[in-house]
Amino acid sequence: MTVLKEIAAELTGMFVAEKRLTIAVLTVVTMAGCLVDFTELDPLVGGSIVLFGCLTLLIESVCRSARAGTS
């Protein structure tokens, strides 16, 4: 049972390194997907939103963790 719990925790930890970063990335991707699907936005613009959104979120997350002094 402990092994199963640890596997579940490992699987979650693989994709949720930090909750706020995970939620923010999912939000950016969902937003880009909705814009492409529902407003007929050029998919390349949607892809660029994902790219630059993720780059910005990464820097913000690292700086926030540095301020908090935690991982």
Partner 1 sequence: MTWSVAAPAVMAAFLASLVEVVEAFTIVLAVATLRGWRSAALGTIAGLAVLAGIVLLLGPLLNRIPLHSLQLAIGILLLLFGMGWLRKASLRAAGIIPLHDEDAIFAAEAAQLGQHQRRQQTNLDWVAGITALKAVLLEGLEVVFIVIAVGAGRGLLMPASFGALAACALVLAAGAIIHRPLSRVPENTLKFGVGVMLSAFGVFWTGEGLGVAWPGQDLALLLFAALFLAAGLTGSALARRISVEIAR
| Contacts to partner 1 by CB under 8 A | 3, 6-7, 10-11, 14-18, 21-22, 25-26, 29, 32-33, 36, 43-44, 46-47, 50-51, 54-55, 57-59, 61-63, 65-67, 69-71
We find the least distance from the C-beta atom of residue 10 to partner 1, in angstroms, to be 5
- The C-alpha atoms of residue 53 and residue 26 are separated, in whole angstroms, by 11
Note whether 32 and 53 are within 8 A (CB).
yes
Smallest separation, CB 11 to partner 1 (Å): 7
Q: How far is the CB of 14 from partner 1 (least distance, A)?
A: 6
Cα–Cα dist 16/8, whole Å: 12
d(CA 67, CA 27): 23
